[in-house]
Chains A and B, each alone.
Chain A
Amino acid sequence: MIQVFRLCKDYGPFRHALSDVSFNVARGEFVFLTGPSGAGKSTLLKLLFREELPSSGQILVNGRNIAVLPDSQVPYFRRTLGVVFQDFKLIARKTIFENLSFVQSVLGLSHAEQKRRAYQALKRVGLHHRMNSHPGELSGGEQQRAAIALAIVNEPVLLLADEPTGNLDPVLSEEIMKLFAEINIRGTTVFVATHDIELIRRMGKRVLTIEKGQLRDRDLAREVMLAREAPFLPG
């Protein structure tokens, strides 16, 4: 699903956000991308959904080399993806249902199809009973579930999430991760960037670790787990 080869991203001559990053993600896989703040997680995600262009290297997503994708093709490429952000990205003046049907009306779907898909997506995230609420009337966890519904309403082949639990407490974070797992079971490839090591450990999925713009051959989640399990030895 994702093939990244020798990817570099520079912001000017002295700031290297990503250096020589290579990895593959198979179709249907659930992968976490972790690392400290400023490591390059968000930059990598932006490159994956073509919000930014790489300085060098190749990125193939769903068989398309997005580094050389013409601007006019970018919207059609993005329709195959779902993206979830930490800050939800919902339109405040519209209800949750309108948020979902709105993005589909932009894509030219019929009104009946918009309603059907929006309801299905809200049902999948368990928010169909709040479909007439505005984002401001929902809790943080509900807003994030609405954002996930927005991301999956077009039935994407790949779901990208950038710190999706960053604004949520541990219980809600767990709930959101379970939702991602359910989406993954239905066949969608899920790629989640987070620095929540505890959460990654509990999920037990593949982990990519990035530090200072480079992929490291270490499993941070496993290291944390081992450190916690080590006996406390008083000095």
Chain B
Amino acid sequence: MNSRYLFGEAWAIAKSGPRHTAIAVALIALAFYVPGLFALVARNLGRLAGSARQPVAAILTIDPAADARAVADRVAQDPRVARVTIVPSAAALERFRRAYPDLGGALSDLGEAPFPPTIEVMLRPTAPVRASQELVAAARTWPGVDSAESEEEFAKKFADGVRLLRGAGLFLGGLLAFAAVLSVASAVRLALDLHRDEIDIMRRMGATEAAIRAPFWLHASFEGLAGGAFALLLLYATYRGALYALSRETHPVLSLFWVGFLDLPTALLLPAVGAVAGFAGSLLSLGKTRSTA
């Protein structure tokens, strides 16, 4: 068996049923686009959650006229507090620009500082569970504190949400990948029926089962690879389309997190898993064919 035969026959198989090949590629593309979209959303949400350098337990918003240092010293006296950081208006704006370079420019046109000064409170790891809420409740009564919010619960819910999204993506991805494997299997079975006579001739001439099946394996793997690649292209088009739409009309929530595409290894995983799914589909289909007669 040589490569000329292998690739030539795989191409001949694809050409013999172009409609079924196209349908199988489209189904695989769809099967990988949906979980890919989940992965993209989850990644961006995860990026938002992970952008803070250290977990912040509480944020106190300070009256611009008040002495932020005095409030910070008062918070730091609490034995449960590990560290206190004063974030002035300018620093908050700079931080936002660094995290979201595409959106930061939009805030430059504003005459006044868009973010009030805040104090971020980090608790010690030994602090009890409700320490953040107790600290916030006390801080709300202090002079110079406009508002105080505990971040503990939100951070937990946010992380849970991202995890749920990833899980849903994986589940749906698994389900659709299984459907993709079945669609490839049926496309390969059809190709087998179309080439039944040739397979009989090859068997009678002494072709090994591996030589007979290899073009089908290759064909199905390419189908999967093409489907995965199409899913990736579609996903990138969706990402760029959303970016374009958000650049025309900024959305208060979407604009904040829709900032990055999948990293390269995750992106390359789509065609790679597609090829594996295609190969699995061909194994499923070819496994049932008789081997010696």
Residues of A within 8 A of B (CB): 49-52, 71, 74-79, 81, 83, 89-91, 93, 102-103, 105-108, 110-111, 150, 154
Query: Does B244 belong to the interface (CB within 8 Å)?
Result: no
Asked if B4 and A111 make an inter-chain contact with CB atoms under 8 angstroms apart, the answer reads yes
Asked if B211 and A74 make an inter-chain contact with CB atoms under 8 angstroms apart, the answer reads no
Task: Kindly provide the distance from the CB of A66 to the nearest chain B CB, expressed in whole angstroms.
Answer: 11
Asked if B201 and A154 make an inter-chain contact with CB atoms under 8 angstroms apart, the answer reads no
Q: How many A-B residue pairs have CB under 8 A?
A: 63
Asked if B293 and A154 make an inter-chain contact with CB atoms under 8 angstroms apart, the answer reads no
Query: Does B206 belong to the interface (CB within 8 Å)?
Result: yes
Asked if A78 and B205 make an inter-chain contact with CB atoms under 8 angstroms apart, the answer reads yes
Asked if B2 and A89 make an inter-chain contact with CB atoms under 8 angstroms apart, the answer reads no
Select B204's contact among A52, A76, A83, A108, beta carbons within 8 Å: A83
**B1 CB contacts on chain A under 8 angstroms:** 105-108
Residues of B within 8 A of A (CB): 1-2, 4-5, 12, 197-198, 200-209, 211-212, 291-293
Select B201's contact among A81, A103, A105, A111, beta carbons within 8 Å: A103
Asked if B293 and A108 make an inter-chain contact with CB atoms under 8 angstroms apart, the answer reads no
Select B207's contact among A81, A103, A110, A111, beta carbons within 8 Å: A103
Asked if A89 and B204 make an inter-chain contact with CB atoms under 8 angstroms apart, the answer reads yes
Asked if B206 and A105 make an inter-chain contact with CB atoms under 8 angstroms apart, the answer reads no
Asked if B291 and A71 make an inter-chain contact with CB atoms under 8 angstroms apart, the answer reads yes
Which one of A52, A81, A90, A105 has the greatest number of beta carbons of chain B within 10 Å?
A: A105
Asked if A75 and B208 make an inter-chain contact with CB atoms under 8 angstroms apart, the answer reads yes
Chain A residue with the shortest CB-CB distance to B205: A103
Asked if B198 and A91 make an inter-chain contact with CB atoms under 8 angstroms apart, the answer reads yes
**B206 CB contacts on chain A under 8 angstroms:** 75-79, 81, 107, 154
Asked if B202 and A106 make an inter-chain contact with CB atoms under 8 angstroms apart, the answer reads yes
Task: Kindly provide the distance from the CB of A6 to the nearest chain B CB, expressed in whole angstroms.
Answer: 23
